[in-house]
Amino acid sequence: MKYRRVKAKEKLQIIEEAKLHGVIETCRAYGISPSTYYGWTRSEEGSESTEDQLRKTVSEIRRLEEENLMLKKLLAEKELSLEIKEQLHKKTLHQQKRNG
């Protein structure tokens, strides 16, 4: 049997589906063992459940993706601003050479 890594979003989807349709049915549909499913949902004493950890991880990824997009936009604006200043500087130097 080939091992495959299940992403956090997929784990959440499987956990939610298992709540609706039952663990055994859902595990069969996704080709995972019930022990794997219960390992994902098991809550150790004093810590939050895997489901809660996955939700936080997914929300953190979304937040980081949004922040990354914002930083890319800021960088693009900065580069555009520098390019405009450089072009204006070249233009004024060119005009000064022509006039002087």
- Quickly list DSSP for 76-88: HHHHHHHHHHHHH
The pTM assigned to this predicted structure is 0.46
Is 91 part of a structural domain of the chain? no
Is 84 part of a structural domain of the chain? no
Q: Which of 18, 46, 20, 43 is nearest to 32 (CA)?
A: 18
Q: 43 or 14: whose pLDDT is higher?
A: 14
Is 51 part of a structural domain of the chain? yes
Number of domains, the chain = 1
Express each pLDDT in 68-81 by its tens digit: 999 999 999 999 99
Structural domain harbouring 13: 8-73
Asked if the model's pLDDT at residue 25 lies above 50, the reply is yes
One-letter amino acid identity for 16? E
Is 3 part of a structural domain of the chain? no
- pLDDT given at position 100: 64
Rounded mean pLDDT of the chain?
85
Asked if the model's pLDDT at residue 52 lies above 90, the reply is no
Find all residues with CB under 8 Å of 54, minimum gap 6, and list them: 8, 11, 12, 15, 40
